[in-house]
């Protein structure tokens, strides 16, 4: 099965299992309440109990041993049903949400029911009509399953945990089918995309590794600005955009890519912005977690969006590197930091929205709320009613909270959230499901299409 993301495994031997408590390569047990460190399944054929011999056509072969893959265990229920277990984040069994796996060796018109039985969250957009995605060798683009085929419920058969069940009919015997929680966006896909920009040799685009992750993957720092603006001694405004600190939140990568595509384009407003603002962009803050198929954590099991207050150079090099860079800019008289925006995806809410900070100074707070209000006027999928400003203790250690407390008063720090599923507008009652392309067009790009006077007011005068 071909993939632009290079996220398919190389051919490997098929392992057969015929018990009702299948384990994977690591031989580690896994259950709903106490998920141990286990690896992804690797081309395992699920056959009926007591079956002997080579797997036959229709004995499904599951695989998740590739970049961003996640499936930890499969239990055979009957010839038509399978219980699937998400592999928990490495070194942190709490988080189980993202899944991405392939199925092959099917029969034409074979019908199955897959039960994903160990989600770590009770609330989910599956309650509101979201469905898993599928593509196959002959079905090149991701498609959402029909809502009539997907069920989200509390299951008495699985310790009253929430289960997402979906039915599927395999239509082509020779296809390899791929199922995902949301649109995958791999580390390799990002590297290929950035290399394609490098090849265009823009004089206003620079790319360099800021640091390397624990597993020695690049943490790319992009600089987008007119070269004349970068002259030492010239005062310049700065906007910092980061994304994908939580690896399972793949929509954030599409939003960030859409922003990059706009800001390097020849659109007059993009040119105006590059002439007056230095943009620093880190499109993937957690490359190891992304590569491994984790939901929230890094390789070592850390939520990197809870360590901004005291990042470790060995345990959280990605946050240590970007925070060090930001603090140097903050202390440099050549730079004036205007915005820090950290892009995320939300698994229980619709639309795009923001989290901002609360300040005692009324004037500072009024300026801080200006950006979300502009977005709500200009972007139909942005919800000002879902936008909140808080000092929630649970958000301690986030980039927004930490930087909002240690940067200059004129710097506005936000978390930008986008729904995994859809948005609703004030004029329509029906939800509009997001696609890869719609994610790229979200929020930040819409904002920059404001009239020039607003841009000059916001960036050049305030």
Do residues 287 and 189 make contact, with C-beta atoms less than 8 angstroms apart? Answer: no
SS3 content of the chain, % helix, strand, coil (to 5): 25, 25, 50
> What is the C-alpha to C-alpha distance for residues 287 and 299, in angstroms, rounded to an integer?
9
Query: What dihedral angle (degrees, nearest 10) is formed by the CA atoms of 292, 295, 297, 300?
Result: -40
3-state SS assignment for residue 374: helix
331 is annotated as an active-site residue: no
> What is the C-alpha to C-alpha distance for residues 52 and 105, in angstroms, rounded to an integer?
17
Do residues 381 and 310 make contact, with C-beta atoms less than 8 angstroms apart? Answer: no
C-alpha distances in Å from residue 372, one per residue of 176, 356, 394, 416? 43, 9, 22, 9
Choosing from 35, 104, 249, 417, the catalytic residue is: 417
Residue reference for tokens 């599409």: 254
> What is the C-alpha to C-alpha distance for residues 439 and 449, in angstroms, rounded to an integer?
16
Query: Please, which residues bridge with residue 178 across strands?
Result: 102, 135
Q: Which residues are catalytic?
A: 417
């Amino acid at each position: 099965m071909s993939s632009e993301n290079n996220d398919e495994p190389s051919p490997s031997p098929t392992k057969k299992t015929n018990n009702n408590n299948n384990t994977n390569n690591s031989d580690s047990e896994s259950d709903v309440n106490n998920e141990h460190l286990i690896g992804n399944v690797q081309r395992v054929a699920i056959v009926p109990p007591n079956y002997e011999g080579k797997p036959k056509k229709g004995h499904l072969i599951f695989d998740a041993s590739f970049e961003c893959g996640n499936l930890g265990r499969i239990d055979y229920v009957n010839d038509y049903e399978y219980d699937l277990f998400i592999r928990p984040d490495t070194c942190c069994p709490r988080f189980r949400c993202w899944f991405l796996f392939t199925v092959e060796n099917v029969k034409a018109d074979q019908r199955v029911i897959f039960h994903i039985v160990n989600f770590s969250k009770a609330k989910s957009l599956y309650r509101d009509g979201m469905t898993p995605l599928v593509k196959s060798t002959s079905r090149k683009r991701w498609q959402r399953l029909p809502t009539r085929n997907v069920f989200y419920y509390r299951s008495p058969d699985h310790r009253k945990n929430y289960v997402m069940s979906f039915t599927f009919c395999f239509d082509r015997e020779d296809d390899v089918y791929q199922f995902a929680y949301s649109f995958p966006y791999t580390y390799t896909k990002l590297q290929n995309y950035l290399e394609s920009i490098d090849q265009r040799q823009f004089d206003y685009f620079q790319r360099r590794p800021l640091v390397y992750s624990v597993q020695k993957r690049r943490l790319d720092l992009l600089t987008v600005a007119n070269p004349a603006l970068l002259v030492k001694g010239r005062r310049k405004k700065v906007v910092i955009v980061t994304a994908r600190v939580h690896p399972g939140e793949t929509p954030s990568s599409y939003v960030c890519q859409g922003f990059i595509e706009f800001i390097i384009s020849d659109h007059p407003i993009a040119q105006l912005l590059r002439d007056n603002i230095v943009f620093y962009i880190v499109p993937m803050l957690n490359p190891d977690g992304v590569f491994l198929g984790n939901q929230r954590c890094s390789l070592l099991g850390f939520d990197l969006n809870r360590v901004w207050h005291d990042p470790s150079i060995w345990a959280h090099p990605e946050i240590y590197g970007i925070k060090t860079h930001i603090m140097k800019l903050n202390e440099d008289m050549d730079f004036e930091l205007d915005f820090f925006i950290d892009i995320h995806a939300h698994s229980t809410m619709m639309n795009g929205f923001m989290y901002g900070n609360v300040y005692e100074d009324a004037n500072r707070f009024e300026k801080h709320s200006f950006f979300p209000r502009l977005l709500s006027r200009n972007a139909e999928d942005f919800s000002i009613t879902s936008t909140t400003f808080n000092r929630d203790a649970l958000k301690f250690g986030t980039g927004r909270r930490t930087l909002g407390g240690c940067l200059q008063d004129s710097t506005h720090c936000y978390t930008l959230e986008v729904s995994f599923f859809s948005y609703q507008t004030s004029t329509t009652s029906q939800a509009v499901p997001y696609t890869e392309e719609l994610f790229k067009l979200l929020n930040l790009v819409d904002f920059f299409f404001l009239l020039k006077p607003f841009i000059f007011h916001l960036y050049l005068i305030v």
